[in-house]
């Protein structure tokens, strides 16, 4: 495994400590829908979903930069069985043919001449290698803690929705210390169909009891974005490893580099401030103040003063209206 060891230079020696906390309940109610039930690649805009009720997150490549580890595992194991005449696959092949796909689909993509049981055993072994690598080195996407804190401050519902097997999902969420953050975790392997079909996201919406009209998704893959759009929700594409244009072509409403991207926070601020009563805007402004203090952005005090002036204007207007009625 020397090639794997040398490939891990992208990840500093800063392994996360695994916790023993109880993971959130995995949703078990299967919700199925035909692929024509919702428009694929719908490009729903973020501004159209206010007021915001929930945010759904993919796991691999969205919460953490795990795609390199999947790439290293596939590259070495495929080379061992003589795939591509023994030449290692490159990152472009991984992005175009592997990233975001479910293991059952990958059996037919990578090993079409193998019996299904044998091909699935290969995938199981690959996932075990991935977990060994992830247990040593795993990096969260930059700014993840900030966006999670913001979601909690606003009291938004949240779920993780993944094509990954249960053992992978449990490991990554535990290492990222997000066991208490997610209310629901949906596994595609427990749905009628995996992403790019909308079933996993429909299942999450059903479990959280929220509307797709007031929910959006963070996704890093083409299949995930299509699944989100297919369930009637806009997707924010994470250009962690996949090209920005590829994610836009798949239907992403917005593409960001990480959770500190100014484009993300500008859109979130605009979306959350829409269609809220003044009392709610005060609470939202306080949440924004916390975010800006964490990320070092300026203008929080100015924004807070602006809202306080609006509250004062509203109060004065209300007093005048009441006085006129009394007189």
Q: Which residues are catalytic?
A: 58, 60
Only one residue has tokens 């044998």, namely 118
Q: Which DSSP helix (H) or strand (E) runs through 236? A: strand 235-238
- Nearest one of 62, 239, 244 to 158, comparing CA atoms: 62
Tokens of 292: 């800006």
**Strands of the 157-162 sheet, one edge to the other:** 184-187, 157-162, 54-57, 215-219, 235-238, 254-256
Distances (CA, A) of 123 to 44, 104, 189: 35, 9, 14
- Nearest one of 230, 165, 222 to 203, comparing CA atoms: 230
Distances (CA, A) of 280 to 9, 286, 307: 46, 10, 11
How many CB atoms lie under 10 A from the CB of residue 293? Answer: 10
How many CB atoms lie under 10 A from the CB of residue 128? Answer: 12
What b/e readout covers 139-153, taking b as 16+ CB neighbours within 10 angstroms? Answer: bbbebbbbbbebbeb
Residues 148, 181: contact at Cβ < 8 Å?
yes
Q: How far apart are CA 230 and CA 107, in angstroms?
A: 24
């Amino acid at each position: 495994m020397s090639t794997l060891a040398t490939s891990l230079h992208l990840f500093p020696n800063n392994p996360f400590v695994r916790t023993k906390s109880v993971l959130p309940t995995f949703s078990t109610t299967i919700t199925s829908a035909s692929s024509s039930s919702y428009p694929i690649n719908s490009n729903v805009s973020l501004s159209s979903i206010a007021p915001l009720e929930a945010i759904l997150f993919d796991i691999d490549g969205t919460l953490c930069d795990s795609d390199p580890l999947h790439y290293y595992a596939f590259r070495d194991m495929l080379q061992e069985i003589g795939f591509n005449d023994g030449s290692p696959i490159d990152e472009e092949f991984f992005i175009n043919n592997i990233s975001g796909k479910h293991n059952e689909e990958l059996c037919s993509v990578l090993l079409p001449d193998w019996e299904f049981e044998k091909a699935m055993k290969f995938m199981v072994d690959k996932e075990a290698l991935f977990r060994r690598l992830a247990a040593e080195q795993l990096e969260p996407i930059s700014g993840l803690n900030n966006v999670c804190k913001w979601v909690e401050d606003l009291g938004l519902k949240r779920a993780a929705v993944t094509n990954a097997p249960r053992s992978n999902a449990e490991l990554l969420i535990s290492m990222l210390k997000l066991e208490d953050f997610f209310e629901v975790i949906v596994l595609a392997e427990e749905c009628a169909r995996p992403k790019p079909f909308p079933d996993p996201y429909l299942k999450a919406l059903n479990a959280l009891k929220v509307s797709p009209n007031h929910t959006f998704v963070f996704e890093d893959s083409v299949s995930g974005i299509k699944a989100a759009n297919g369930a009637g929700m806009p997707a924010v594409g994470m250009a962690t490893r996949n090209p920005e244009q590829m994610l836009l072509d798949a239907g992403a409403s917005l593409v960001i580099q990480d959770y500190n991207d100014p484009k993300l926070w500008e859109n979130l601020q605009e979306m959350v401030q829409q269609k809220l009563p003044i009392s709610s805007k005060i609470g939202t402004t306080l949440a924004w103040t916390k975010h800006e203090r964490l990320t070092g952005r300026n203008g929080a005090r100015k924004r807070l003063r602006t809202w306080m002036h609006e509250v004062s204007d509203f109060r004065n207007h209300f007093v005048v209206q009441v006085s006129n009625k009394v007189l």
